[in-house]
Amino acid sequence: MNAEWEARPLPMRRVCGKNNRKERIVVTNEVTNEKILRTLRHQAWCRAKGELEAVLTTFWDGPDNDQQYHDMESAVRQFVADVEDSGLAE
């Protein structure tokens, strides 16, 4: 077995609270502030993209809304593509 993956006890930490219990924590050198920020930025982008797409559901069928819906859909799709293709949300 690879020495890097050998089973070893994980460090413990106290969790504040009524029972003052202990739980295992994982310590790794792989997590950096940059990775955390990129993860948070990705999560925020996914939420923002969902909000933009949710706007499209506010349009009702009808002759007055068809063109406005298609214009809005095109604008949302174009904006999302521009942001993702440029890597602006990374």
Quick: pLDDT tens for 29-78.
Answer: 566 788 888 888 989 999 999 999 999 888 876 777 778 888 889 999 99
Q: What is the structure's pLDDT at 74?
A: 92
Residue with tokens 């996914």: 46
Q: Which of 30, 22, 29, 24 is nearest to 9 (CA)?
A: 24
Q: What is the structure's pLDDT at 89?
A: 79
Q: Which of 89, 58, 90 is nearest to 73 (CA)?
A: 58
pLDDT band at 17 (very low <50, low <70, confident <90, very high): very low
The string over 51-68, giving b where at least 16 C-beta atoms fall within 10 Å of a residue's C-beta and e elsewhere, is eeeeeeeeeeeeeeeeee
**CA dist list (Å): 29 to 21, 35, 39:** 26, 11, 16
Q: How far is CA 77 from the centre of its chain?
A: 19
